[in-house]
Amino acid sequence: MDREETLRSAIELPGKEEEFILRLFITGATPNSIRAVSNIKQICEQHLKGRYSLDIVDVYQQETCAEAEQLIALPLLIKKQPFPERRMVGDLSNTEKVLKGLGLTS
């Protein structure tokens, strides 16, 4: 693969083989947190089955991890990979918006 092909493949939409690394920050068992967990699990199973890892972080139990990410609002989903990193705030109930944020739709 030449340099141009490498650059082109790096900026294209994620391929079917790429693994998504997601981290969802929540605040305990609040209604918004419960909805966010349910919604992202459903979206992942429907659109990323077998090619994602989802880490759910309760900021009340893991304050250090939350501080390192410089959180501004919760629930917050961070797509770590594939690049670029993206952040989505809310209960993740708008599936189209989440899919766009994950780079699965244009």
Considering only the top CATH level, what class is 19-101?
A: alpha beta
32-74 confidence digits (pLDDT tens): 999 999 999 999 999 999 999 999 999 999 888 878 888 888 9
3-32 confidence digits (pLDDT tens): 444 434 444 444 457 899 999 999 999 999
User: Domain locations in the chain?
Assistant: 19-101
Q: SS3 of 47, please?
A: helix
**Token pair 């501080």: residue:** 67
Give whole-number Cα distances, 92 to 4, 26, 55, 81, in Å: 36, 12, 15, 18
Alpha-carbon gap, residue 31 to 5, rounded angstroms: 46
CB atoms within 10 A of CB 102: 22
**What does pTM read for this prediction?**
0.80
Q: Whose CA is closest to 93, among 106, 71, 75? A: 75
Which run of H or E residues covers position 31? Answer: helix 31-47
- Residue 82: is the preceding peptide bond cis (ω within 30°)? yes
